[in-house]
Homo-oligomer: A and B are copies of this chain.
Amino acid sequence: MKTYLNCIPCFVQQTLTACRFVSDDESLHESVLREVLTLLKDVDMSQTPPAMAMRIYRIIRRRTGVDDPYQEVKHQTTREVLRLLPELRRQVREAADPFTMAVRMAIGGNTIDCGVGHAITVETVSKAFAHALDGPLDGDVKEFQTAVNEAKSILYVADNAGEIVSDRLLIERLPAGRVTLAVRGRAVLNDATRDDAKMAGYDETIEIIDNGSDAPGTILEECSEAFRRRFARVDLIVAKGQGNFETLSDAKGTIFFFLKVKCPVISHHTGCPLGHLLVRKKAE
Protein backbone atom coordinates (compact mmCIF):
# COMPACT_ATOMS: atom_id res chain seq x y z
CA MET A 1 0.00 0.00 0.00
CA LYS A 2 1.33 3.42 -0.95
CA THR A 3 1.62 6.35 1.44
CA TYR A 4 -1.38 8.68 1.32
CA LEU A 5 -1.08 12.46 1.66
CA ASN A 6 -3.03 12.16 4.92
CA CYS A 7 -0.15 10.08 6.34
CA ILE A 8 2.17 13.11 6.19
CA PRO A 9 0.66 15.23 9.02
CA CYS A 10 0.43 12.00 11.05
CA PHE A 11 4.18 11.33 10.58
CA VAL A 12 4.92 14.87 11.74
CA GLN A 13 2.76 14.36 14.83
CA GLN A 14 4.32 10.92 15.54
CA THR A 15 7.77 12.47 15.41
CA LEU A 16 6.86 14.93 18.15
CA THR A 17 5.15 12.25 20.23
CA ALA A 18 8.14 9.90 20.02
CA CYS A 19 10.65 12.65 20.84
CA ARG A 20 8.63 13.67 23.89
CA PHE A 21 8.62 10.08 25.06
CA VAL A 22 12.38 10.12 25.50
CA SER A 23 13.35 13.70 26.22
CA ASP A 24 12.09 16.94 27.73
CA ASP A 25 14.50 18.96 25.63
CA GLU A 26 12.36 21.14 23.34
CA SER A 27 15.35 22.20 21.25
CA LEU A 28 16.08 18.53 20.52
CA HIS A 29 12.42 17.96 19.57
CA GLU A 30 12.62 20.94 17.22
CA SER A 31 15.81 19.81 15.59
CA VAL A 32 14.52 16.23 15.05
CA LEU A 33 11.28 17.67 13.65
CA ARG A 34 13.22 19.81 11.16
CA GLU A 35 15.21 16.77 10.02
CA VAL A 36 11.99 14.77 9.53
CA LEU A 37 10.37 17.64 7.59
CA THR A 38 13.44 17.67 5.35
CA LEU A 39 12.97 13.95 4.75
CA LEU A 40 9.24 14.29 4.13
CA LYS A 41 9.50 17.10 1.60
CA ASP A 42 11.12 14.68 -0.86
CA VAL A 43 9.41 11.48 0.26
CA ASP A 44 8.61 8.86 -2.35
CA MET A 45 4.83 8.47 -1.95
CA SER A 46 4.88 5.08 -3.69
CA GLN A 47 6.64 3.66 -0.62
CA THR A 48 4.55 2.09 2.12
CA PRO A 49 3.91 4.09 5.31
CA PRO A 50 6.08 1.71 7.41
CA ALA A 51 9.02 2.26 5.02
CA MET A 52 8.70 5.96 5.77
CA ALA A 53 8.20 5.38 9.50
CA MET A 54 11.31 3.17 9.57
CA ARG A 55 13.42 6.09 8.32
CA ILE A 56 11.78 8.51 10.77
CA TYR A 57 12.40 6.25 13.78
CA ARG A 58 16.01 5.79 12.67
CA ILE A 59 16.40 9.57 12.84
CA ILE A 60 14.77 9.66 16.27
CA ARG A 61 17.04 6.87 17.58
CA ARG A 62 20.15 8.51 16.19
CA ARG A 63 19.33 12.00 17.41
CA THR A 64 18.03 11.10 20.87
CA GLY A 65 20.52 8.32 21.48
CA VAL A 66 17.66 6.21 22.84
CA ASP A 67 17.43 2.85 21.15
CA ASP A 68 13.95 1.89 22.34
CA PRO A 69 11.82 4.93 23.29
CA TYR A 70 8.78 2.75 23.89
CA GLN A 71 10.40 0.13 26.13
CA GLU A 72 8.58 1.29 29.27
CA VAL A 73 5.20 1.34 27.46
CA LYS A 74 5.89 -2.10 26.05
CA HIS A 75 6.64 -3.50 29.49
CA GLN A 76 3.57 -1.87 31.04
CA THR A 77 1.19 -3.14 28.38
CA THR A 78 2.73 -6.60 28.42
CA ARG A 79 2.21 -6.83 32.19
CA GLU A 80 -1.34 -5.55 31.82
CA VAL A 81 -2.35 -8.09 29.17
CA LEU A 82 -0.67 -10.88 31.17
CA ARG A 83 -2.79 -9.79 34.13
CA LEU A 84 -5.95 -9.92 32.00
CA LEU A 85 -5.00 -13.17 30.27
CA PRO A 86 -6.74 -15.69 32.58
CA GLU A 87 -10.02 -13.76 32.25
CA LEU A 88 -9.65 -13.42 28.47
CA ARG A 89 -8.91 -17.16 28.24
CA ARG A 90 -12.07 -17.89 30.21
CA GLN A 91 -14.09 -15.69 27.85
CA VAL A 92 -12.67 -17.56 24.85
CA ARG A 93 -13.36 -20.96 26.42
CA GLU A 94 -16.93 -20.12 27.37
CA ALA A 95 -17.84 -18.42 24.08
CA ALA A 96 -20.37 -20.06 21.76
CA ASP A 97 -17.61 -20.17 19.14
CA PRO A 98 -14.24 -20.24 20.94
CA PHE A 99 -12.16 -20.07 17.74
CA THR A 100 -13.88 -16.88 16.57
CA MET A 101 -13.59 -15.44 20.07
CA ALA A 102 -9.83 -16.18 20.04
CA VAL A 103 -9.60 -14.32 16.71
CA ARG A 104 -11.51 -11.41 18.27
CA MET A 105 -9.17 -11.26 21.28
CA ALA A 106 -6.07 -11.40 19.08
CA ILE A 107 -7.41 -8.50 16.99
CA GLY A 108 -8.59 -6.64 20.10
CA GLY A 109 -4.96 -6.66 21.28
CA ASN A 110 -4.03 -4.78 18.10
CA THR A 111 -5.51 -1.66 19.73
CA ILE A 112 -2.23 -1.45 21.71
CA ASP A 113 -0.52 0.60 19.01
CA CYS A 114 1.59 3.68 19.73
CA GLY A 115 1.71 4.63 16.05
CA VAL A 116 -1.78 6.03 15.75
CA GLY A 117 -1.58 9.01 18.01
CA HIS A 118 -3.47 7.81 21.05
CA ALA A 119 -1.81 7.33 24.39
CA ILE A 120 -2.00 3.71 25.53
CA THR A 121 -3.07 3.33 29.14
CA VAL A 122 -4.11 0.41 31.33
CA GLU A 123 -7.68 1.59 30.76
CA THR A 124 -7.41 1.58 26.95
CA VAL A 125 -6.07 -1.97 27.12
CA SER A 126 -8.96 -3.39 29.12
CA LYS A 127 -11.50 -1.40 27.08
CA ALA A 128 -9.99 -2.82 23.88
CA PHE A 129 -10.69 -6.40 24.97
CA ALA A 130 -14.17 -5.53 26.22
CA HIS A 131 -14.88 -4.06 22.77
CA ALA A 132 -13.42 -7.14 21.05
CA LEU A 133 -15.98 -9.37 22.80
CA ASP A 134 -18.87 -8.18 20.65
CA GLY A 135 -17.67 -5.22 18.56
CA PRO A 136 -18.24 -5.33 14.79
CA LEU A 137 -16.03 -7.91 13.04
CA ASP A 138 -15.71 -7.69 9.24
CA GLY A 139 -14.47 -10.74 7.35
CA ASP A 140 -14.82 -14.50 7.18
CA VAL A 141 -13.39 -16.38 10.16
CA LYS A 142 -14.62 -19.71 8.74
CA GLU A 143 -12.52 -19.20 5.61
CA PHE A 144 -9.52 -18.61 7.86
CA GLN A 145 -10.29 -21.71 9.92
CA THR A 146 -10.44 -23.81 6.76
CA ALA A 147 -7.09 -22.41 5.62
CA VAL A 148 -5.61 -23.25 9.04
CA ASN A 149 -6.84 -26.84 8.83
CA GLU A 150 -5.26 -27.27 5.40
CA ALA A 151 -1.92 -25.65 6.24
CA LYS A 152 1.09 -27.73 7.28
CA SER A 153 3.06 -24.63 8.26
CA ILE A 154 1.84 -21.29 9.55
CA LEU A 155 3.86 -18.10 9.99
CA TYR A 156 2.24 -15.80 12.54
CA VAL A 157 3.67 -12.31 11.96
CA ALA A 158 3.14 -10.42 15.21
CA ASP A 159 2.69 -6.69 15.55
CA ASN A 160 2.92 -5.01 18.94
CA ALA A 161 4.10 -5.76 22.45
CA GLY A 162 1.14 -6.48 24.74
CA GLU A 163 -0.87 -7.53 21.69
CA ILE A 164 1.50 -10.47 21.34
CA VAL A 165 0.23 -11.73 24.73
CA SER A 166 -3.36 -11.92 23.50
CA ASP A 167 -2.08 -13.56 20.31
CA ARG A 168 -1.39 -16.57 22.55
CA LEU A 169 -5.16 -17.17 22.80
CA LEU A 170 -5.36 -17.70 19.04
CA ILE A 171 -2.02 -19.46 18.63
CA GLU A 172 -3.09 -22.01 21.29
CA ARG A 173 -5.96 -22.93 19.00
CA LEU A 174 -3.80 -23.37 15.89
CA PRO A 175 -2.39 -26.88 15.20
CA ALA A 176 0.46 -27.53 17.65
CA GLY A 177 3.90 -27.79 16.11
CA ARG A 178 2.94 -26.03 12.89
CA VAL A 179 3.19 -22.40 13.97
CA THR A 180 6.22 -20.12 13.87
CA LEU A 181 5.94 -16.72 15.51
CA ALA A 182 7.78 -13.83 13.82
CA VAL A 183 8.72 -10.58 15.53
CA ARG A 184 10.65 -7.45 14.50
CA GLY A 185 14.44 -7.61 14.34
CA ARG A 186 14.87 -4.41 16.30
CA ALA A 187 12.84 -2.05 18.47
CA VAL A 188 10.69 0.40 16.53
CA LEU A 189 7.61 2.08 17.98
CA ASN A 190 5.98 -0.40 20.40
CA ASP A 191 6.35 -3.28 17.95
CA ALA A 192 7.19 -6.62 19.52
CA THR A 193 10.77 -7.90 19.45
CA ARG A 194 12.21 -11.20 20.77
CA ASP A 195 12.42 -9.72 24.26
CA ASP A 196 8.73 -8.76 24.19
CA ALA A 197 7.78 -12.22 22.94
CA LYS A 198 9.76 -13.80 25.78
CA MET A 199 8.06 -11.55 28.32
CA ALA A 200 4.70 -12.53 26.80
CA GLY A 201 5.18 -16.05 28.14
CA TYR A 202 5.41 -18.26 25.04
CA ASP A 203 6.71 -21.71 25.95
CA GLU A 204 9.35 -23.71 24.10
CA THR A 205 6.82 -25.44 21.86
CA ILE A 206 6.55 -22.26 19.77
CA GLU A 207 9.47 -21.39 17.53
CA ILE A 208 10.15 -17.66 17.56
CA ILE A 209 12.09 -15.98 14.75
CA ASP A 210 12.85 -12.36 14.06
CA ASN A 211 12.69 -10.68 10.69
CA GLY A 212 16.03 -8.88 10.95
CA SER A 213 14.46 -5.50 10.22
CA ASP A 214 13.63 -2.31 12.11
CA ALA A 215 10.58 -1.36 10.04
CA PRO A 216 7.20 -1.17 11.83
CA GLY A 217 5.83 -3.66 9.32
CA THR A 218 7.25 -6.39 7.10
CA ILE A 219 9.23 -4.90 4.22
CA LEU A 220 10.55 -8.13 2.73
CA GLU A 221 13.55 -6.54 1.03
CA GLU A 222 14.61 -5.15 4.43
CA CYS A 223 14.24 -8.55 6.16
CA SER A 224 16.93 -11.14 6.64
CA GLU A 225 17.52 -13.80 4.02
CA ALA A 226 16.48 -16.47 6.57
CA PHE A 227 13.17 -14.72 7.23
CA ARG A 228 12.45 -14.25 3.53
CA ARG A 229 13.08 -17.96 2.85
CA ARG A 230 10.72 -18.93 5.66
CA PHE A 231 8.12 -16.48 4.47
CA ALA A 232 8.25 -17.87 0.92
CA ARG A 233 8.00 -21.49 2.10
CA VAL A 234 5.08 -21.52 4.55
CA ASP A 235 1.58 -22.55 3.56
CA LEU A 236 -0.23 -19.82 5.47
CA ILE A 237 0.68 -16.42 6.86
CA VAL A 238 -1.22 -14.55 9.57
CA ALA A 239 -0.19 -10.89 9.48
CA LYS A 240 -1.25 -8.81 12.46
CA GLY A 241 -1.89 -5.06 12.47
CA GLN A 242 -1.86 -2.08 10.14
CA GLY A 243 1.91 -2.04 9.55
CA ASN A 244 1.98 -5.64 8.30
CA PHE A 245 -1.14 -4.99 6.21
CA GLU A 246 0.41 -1.91 4.61
CA THR A 247 3.65 -3.70 3.75
CA LEU A 248 2.38 -7.15 2.75
CA SER A 249 -0.71 -6.31 0.72
CA ASP A 250 1.20 -7.04 -2.51
CA ALA A 251 3.34 -9.93 -1.22
CA LYS A 252 3.13 -13.47 -2.58
CA GLY A 253 1.54 -16.20 -0.49
CA THR A 254 -1.70 -17.01 1.30
CA ILE A 255 -2.01 -14.21 3.81
CA PHE A 256 -4.76 -13.39 6.27
CA PHE A 257 -4.58 -9.90 7.70
CA PHE A 258 -5.96 -9.41 11.21
CA LEU A 259 -6.22 -5.83 12.37
CA LYS A 260 -8.20 -3.24 14.21
CA VAL A 261 -8.99 -0.35 11.84
CA LYS A 262 -7.48 2.57 13.73
CA CYS A 263 -6.87 5.36 11.25
CA PRO A 264 -8.91 7.10 8.54
CA VAL A 265 -6.37 6.20 5.84
CA ILE A 266 -6.69 2.45 6.51
CA SER A 267 -10.46 2.79 6.83
CA HIS A 268 -10.60 4.48 3.43
CA HIS A 269 -8.19 1.96 1.86
CA THR A 270 -9.99 -1.14 3.18
CA GLY A 271 -13.53 0.22 3.03
CA CYS A 272 -13.93 -0.93 6.65
CA PRO A 273 -15.23 1.60 9.22
CA LEU A 274 -12.95 2.97 11.94
CA GLY A 275 -12.90 0.83 15.08
CA HIS A 276 -14.00 -2.38 13.37
CA LEU A 277 -12.12 -5.66 13.81
CA LEU A 278 -11.02 -6.82 10.37
CA VAL A 279 -10.13 -10.28 9.02
CA ARG A 280 -9.10 -9.97 5.39
CA LYS A 281 -7.62 -12.54 3.06
CA LYS A 282 -5.12 -11.03 0.64
CA ALA A 283 -6.48 -10.99 -2.90
CA GLU A 284 -4.79 -13.72 -5.00
**A134 is an interface residue with CB less than 8 A from chain B:** no
> B residues within 8 A CB of A8?
12, 16, 33, 37
Which A residues contact B (CB, under 8 angstroms)? 5-6, 8-10, 12-13, 16, 26, 29-30, 33-34, 37-38, 40-42, 45
Whether B12 lies near A9 (C-beta < 8 A) is yes
CB distance from A284 to the nearest CB of B (A): 28
Return A76 CB to nearest CB of chain B, in Å.
24
This chain: copies in complex:
2
Decide if B34 touches A37 in the complex (CB within 8 Å). Answer: no
What B residues does A16 contact at CB under 8 A? 5-6, 8-9
Q: How far is the CA of A83 from the CA of B29 in the complex (A)?
A: 47
Q: Which has the most chain B C-beta neighbours within 10 Å: A5, A26, A45?
A: A5
Task: Give every chain B residue within 8 A of A40 (Cβ-Cβ).
Answer: 37
Given A9-B9, A12-B9, are A41 and B37 neighbors across the interface (CB < 8 Å)?
A: yes
Beta-carbon nearest neighbor of A29 in chain B: B5
Q: Which B residues are in CB contact (< 8 Å) with A6?
A: 16
Pick the 10 closest A-B CB pairs, nearest first: A37-B41, A9-B12, A9-B13, A38-B41, A9-B9, A34-B41, A37-B40, A37-B37, A12-B12, A5-B29
A9 to B12, CA, bound (A): 5
Interface residues of chain A: helix, strand, loop or mixed (majority): helix
Q: How far is the CA of A18 from the CA of B153 in the complex (A)?
A: 50
Q: Is the CB–CB distance between A30 and B5 below 8 Å?
A: yes
Task: Give complex CA distance A180, B42 in Å.
Answer: 47
Complex A-B: 21 CB contacts under 8 Å: A5-B16, A5-B26, A5-B29, A5-B30, A8-B16, A8-B33, A8-B37, A9-B9, A9-B10, A9-B12, A9-B13, A9-B16, A12-B12, A30-B45, A34-B41, A34-B42, A37-B37, A37-B40, A37-B41, A38-B41, A41-B41
Shortest beta-carbon distance from A33 to chain B in Å: 6
Assuming A9-B12, A34-B42, A38-B41, what are 13 further A-B pairs, CB within 8 angstroms? A5-B26, A5-B30, A5-B33, A6-B16, A8-B12, A9-B9, A9-B10, A9-B13, A9-B16, A30-B45, A37-B40, A37-B41, A41-B41
